[in-house]
Structure 1
Amino acid sequence: MKENILFGTDGWRGIIAKDFTFSGVESCAEGVARYHIAQNLHNQPLVIGYDTRFASKEFAEHAANTIARNNIKVLLCENTTPTPVVSNAIVDFKASGGIIITASHNPYNWNGFKYRTSYGGSPDNNEIRTIENFINSESFSNNLENHSDTNGNLQKQIEHINPFTPYFKKINALLKIEDIKNTKMNISVDSMHGAGSGYIKKILKGGSIKINEIRSLLNPNFPNMYNPEPINHNLIPLKKSISKHKSSVGLAFDGDADRLGIIDSNNNYVTTLQTFALLAYYLLEIRQLKGPIVKSLTTSNMMWKLGEKYGVDVIETPVGFKNIVPEMIQHDALIGGEESGGFAFKGHIPERDGIISGLFILDLMIKTKKSIPELIENLFSIVGPHYFDRWDIPISKKDQSKTIEIAKNLNPKRLIGKNVIKIDHLDGVRFTLEDGSWVAMRFSGTEPLIRIYSETTNQNNLTMLLYECAKLLEIVD
């Protein structure tokens, strides 16, 4: 009996050849096709894209054949494509949904299968469960081997598309791209060998801005890094580029370019919580836009303070864009974001977009004539200082149930010498301290890790708080 395929925080992921196989991709694609037929969506096309990982193109073509076999038209991206660009194509081509073969920020030996809805965003939990039921249904899984292209018409159902043109058009609708192109700014860009390679250069070509791009060659091994995630320890080459070229800022994208990482001109890593707050400040203060902020529980308390200052609601959700997207749509939110470095914006698809996030940061710097360190200093003058870190601790399947049980029963009265004033279980467990600091613990929905997150108003307390919680979970000495 085959093991059921289940979607995590964002789709189904697994180690290539061990867990993630052509058979599994076929089951997922067949399940999506059956779902679209059941929802009467099969008369509209379905977009399929893929990243730079090993065999992603072949997995995407296999998924395309499976969808086409069900008499559903497929719009297949002609080259490796960032996730937000695929999502934008879904809306632009009036498709019924989309499939993206990518494992995003996971290590090189992983791949994944993401599904996107007709509005380009992540499906909600009810949609996910329904699709999973189709994928794992015995009623069709036993017949997959016999489901062949008897009429030889598959290729007539598959059309290759270039999704960059509509994406570029959307970018120009969201901001004045000429303002960025014509600045004298010197920037460094780290594409981390992923699907975002060349995009910033292509978008800003023909202007006076100088772009120094590194790790732009497509390489499925993602060499010299554990995984293509734009966080501090993976961005040493970007820091070297900033020093070499005297860049004003460094922008980095993960494997499918739906996340943004930033290194400032002093070679300091800008936390994703600071980036989220800067983007919200940019929209609310510089662009003078209004609308609610949607944040996952592991993002910053700065969002509550910005919401209060600018008179907008702040809505908190569990981790994952599948939880953020419904709230963004329901409340017509201005911005949605999560700690991973993924941010979505009103007027665009309700989907993380590292590329447009990076362009907004450049526009913020140009409009204010401030560097990133100056912008953070200005931000802290409004909301007070906030410091953040995250620990990712590998954990085996056999230890997960024990750790989950420990976490559920934790009830500390004090941490780092301060009273715990609130405990909640919105997603994992989170402790709020009397000084406003917080620490949260949850299992990753994409990797075999337990993540411990913390934000404090005193930088000296940050590591101590993370360590005390790791000790409570009995995962450090």
Structure 2
Amino acid sequence: MSEISTIDKAKLWLSDTFDQETKDAVQTLIDSNSPDLEDSFYRELEFGTGGMRGIMGVGTNRLNKYTLGQATQGLANYMLQQFQGEEIKVAIAYDVRHNSKEFGKLVADVLTANGIKVLLFKNHRPTPELSFTVRDKKCNGGIVLTASHNPPEYNGYKVYWNDGAQIVPPHDEAIINEVYSVKFEEIKFNGNDDLIEWIGEEQDDVYIDACIENSTYQDVGKGNLNIVFTSIHGTTYTTVPKALEKAGFKKVDLVKEQMIPSGNFPTVDSPNPEEPAALEMAMDLAKITNADIVIGTDPDGDRLGIAVRNLEGEIQLLNGNQCNTILTYYILDQLKKENEITGKEFIGSTIVTSDIFFDIAEKFGVDCKVGLTGFKWIGKMIRDFEGQEKFICGGEESFGFMTGDFVRDKDSCGSIVLACEIAAWCKANGTTMYEYLIEIYQETGMYYEGLINVTKKGRDGAEEIQNMMRNFRENPPKSLAGSAVEEVKDFKEQTNFVISENKKHVMNEIPKSNVLIYYTQDGTKVCVRPSGTEPKIKFYVSVKQDLNSKEDFKSTLKSLEQKIEEVRKDLQLN
């Protein structure tokens, strides 16, 4: 049987299963022979192992009433099987994006139409507050409508289980199967508002108190720290300013223009705190206020960017690994001083994150567990070792961190409280967070990272990314930046090929994933993976060199930057 054509797929959306607005929009695409027709219908929007993310609009490859309804009906079907005979509760939050509030109510309606109780936030709330609420309110699951830091035309849908973490095996694959078995005509859209409990500011206070409790170690110099904060038009306007005030910080200046929630993100090209441009207005304000630290968060409030004064006194954005290095080292150092490290503790990291966390863990006598990219795998670690080992903190290179296990996802609010405590402590001791980082590097060796993104959009781009991964898998580089490649880890094949032995070792402690990692003899690490949320293939490059003194920092940094550039050239990435 021949594959159904794109236009025939589109015509299926002209049936009475779909509302008139949807049918009119589809007919317009067909009549105009718009190039968007192909991209809207050539495939089904992937419901991945954590949910889905895509451009909003009509079609099977778009986020809309029907693709969201299908996902939610599938989730409802699965939960009704899993929790037979008990009242099922699901918490729902949403960010500032276009349609997020409407999508939140739509998703709630599908759940209540299936007899499931919903705890629905009245207004925008950060993703980590949703994770916290699932556990705090003893829910069976949670949903957040967000596309994180993607452009304004995107939205998304993330699913959480009863531990407050995003879904992982075996639930993820089972839910995916249920979702794809749902026909559009089977979706129950007629909700029951009697099954909705609305949540407001009272939940913010409980969450903020937990953030402070889990992220506070000492009270030194908090009243003397100058902070600039921006929510970059996102959800944390509801939590972070209040948390900083409650934690004892007196000098907090807000970027007022960016504290206004907006799905257009009008003052930035991208609402991503990983990019210095997103913090430009905050940095400009820092010059006026003589701020010690600048902090920004992404639209759904799980990621944070931190900028501090460098050796020249200029505000500089730390990368995710640098930020997490400071936070992790400080926490473990405080616990060690309080004699609270017993050897039964662990920190969490990911395969694309810097290996410095192994060094830090070894120094303080704790374990460093590593999972696939994404905080759901750190959440799984917490669940897997609950009652056996104590989780301290976890982070990944993409500007995410969490302290303690009260939230089971990256949490900017608690991380900001902690970062500001460290900055205040440093200032009170006549130093800075940047100098503190250099001191850590003198102990562990200096690690430096670069992220190279190659964007390939649309259907052709997706195929090109597949071909690139195939080529890197079949033809790994012999050397990188002048150092021979000695190991090739293939997480799809679950093998570790050791070049000197000419032998592949089985590597099945981490689930399969389309990721490659090359290690060279001098400690250079390159991870290659397609993005799960954007049309990109990503190259995470980590290089390392001994740092003997603070005076050597600049020359060492220059050497490491040059090495990353050599890696880029060797991989032929323009």
Please tell me whether residue 431 in structure 1 is matched to residue 529 in structure 2.
no
Q: Tell whether the 8 Å contact from 2:125 to 2:238 is kept in structure 1 after alignment.
A: no
Cα deviation digits, residues 194-235 of structure 1 (max 9, x gap): 111242211233756111112111111112433221113422
* SS class of match (1:430): strand
Deviation at 1:261, TM superposition (A): 0.9
What pairs up with 1:172-321 in 2 under 5 angstroms?
172-176=212-216, 179=219, 183-205=223-245, 207=248, 209-214=250-255, 215-231=258-274, 232-265=276-309, 266-288=314-336, 289-290=340-341, 291-321=345-375
TM-score in terms of structure 1 length: 0.92
Counterpart residue number, 2:18: none
Counterpart residue number, 1:342: 400
Cα deviation digits, residues 384-413 of structure 1 (max 9, x gap): 222112122211123122112112113222
* SS class of match (1:142): helix
Q: How many residues align?
A: 470
Q: Which amino acid aligns with 1:454?
A: V
Which of 180, 193, 199 is residue 161 of structure 1 equivalent to? Answer: 199
Structure 2: which 5+ residue stretches go unaligned? 1-8, 10-40, 492-513, 545-555
Structure 1's 411 and 98: CA in aligned 2 closer, same or farther, altered over 3 A?
Answer: same
Deviation at 1:461, TM superposition (A): 5.1
Q: In 1, Cα distance between the equivalents of 2:569 and 2:249?
A: 52
Q: In 2, Cα distance between the equivalents of 1:474 and 1:436?
A: 20
* SS class of match (1:183): helix
Which of 169, 172, 176 is residue 125 of structure 1 equivalent to? Answer: 169
Q: Which amino acid aligns with 1:158?
A: I
Counterpart residue number, 2:55: 15
Matched residues, percent identical? 27
Deviation at 1:468, TM superposition (A): 5.3
Structure 1: which 5+ residue stretches go unaligned? none
Q: RMSD of the alignment, in Å?
A: 2.3
Q: Which amino acid aligns with 1:34?
A: N
Q: In 1, Cα distance between the equivalents of 2:308 and 2:53?
A: 32
Q: Tell whether the 8 Å contact from 1:56 to 1:111 is kept in structure 2 after alignment.
A: yes
Please tell me whether residue 26 in structure 1 is matched to residue 113 in structure 2.
no
What pairs up with 1:50-65 in 2 under 5 angstroms?
50-65=94-109
Counterpart residue number, 2:376: 322
Tell me whether 347-356 or 61-70 shows the greater mean CA deviation: 347-356
Structure 1's 330 and 243: CA in aligned 2 closer, same or farther, altered over 3 A?
Answer: same
Structure 1's 349 and 459: CA in aligned 2 closer, same or farther, altered over 3 A?
Answer: same
Tell me whether 56-65 or 237-246 shows the greater mean CA deviation: 237-246
Q: Tell whether the 8 Å contact from 1:171 to 1:177 is kept in structure 2 after alignment.
A: no
Tell me whether 279-288 or 89-98 shows the greater mean CA deviation: 279-288
TM-score in terms of structure 2 length: 0.77
Tell me whether 194-203 or 350-359 shows the greater mean CA deviation: 194-203
Q: In 1, Cα distance between the equivalents of 2:221 and 2:154?
A: 36
Deviation at 1:183, TM superposition (A): 1.8
Tell me whether 412-421 or 115-124 shows the greater mean CA deviation: 412-421
Please tell me whether residue 384 in structure 1 is matched to residue 445 in structure 2.
yes
Q: Tell whether the 8 Å contact from 2:422 to 2:433 is kept in structure 1 after alignment.
A: no
Q: Which amino acid aligns with 2:165?
A: G
* SS class of match (1:114): strand
Q: Tell whether the 8 Å contact from 1:76 to 1:158 is kept in structure 2 after alignment.
A: yes
Q: Which amino acid aligns with 1:295?
A: S
Counterpart residue number, 2:15: none
Deviation at 1:126, TM superposition (A): 2.4
Deviation at 1:168, TM superposition (A): 2.0
Q: Which amino acid aligns with 1:270?
A: L
Q: In 2, Cα distance between the equivalents of 1:224 and 1:208?
A: 27
Structure 1's 233 and 418: CA in aligned 2 closer, same or farther, altered over 3 A?
Answer: farther
Q: In 2, Cα distance between the equivalents of 1:208 and 1:328?
A: 31
Deviation at 1:125, TM superposition (A): 3.4
Deviation at 1:464, TM superposition (A): 5.2
Q: In 1, Cα distance between the equivalents of 2:196 and 2:102?
A: 14
Q: In 1, Cα distance between the equivalents of 2:561 and 2:535?
A: 22
* SS class of match (1:335): strand
Q: In 1, Cα distance between the equivalents of 2:89 and 2:152?
A: 31
* SS class of match (2:259): coil
Structure 1's 410 and 359: CA in aligned 2 closer, same or farther, altered over 3 A?
Answer: farther
Cα deviation digits, residues 61-96 of structure 1 (max 9, x gap): 000001000111111001100000111111111111
Counterpart residue number, 1:442: 529
Which of 206, 211, 231 is residue 171 of structure 1 equivalent to? Answer: 211
* SS class of match (1:219): coil
Cα deviation digits, residues 26-49 of structure 1 (max 9, x gap): 111111111110101661311000
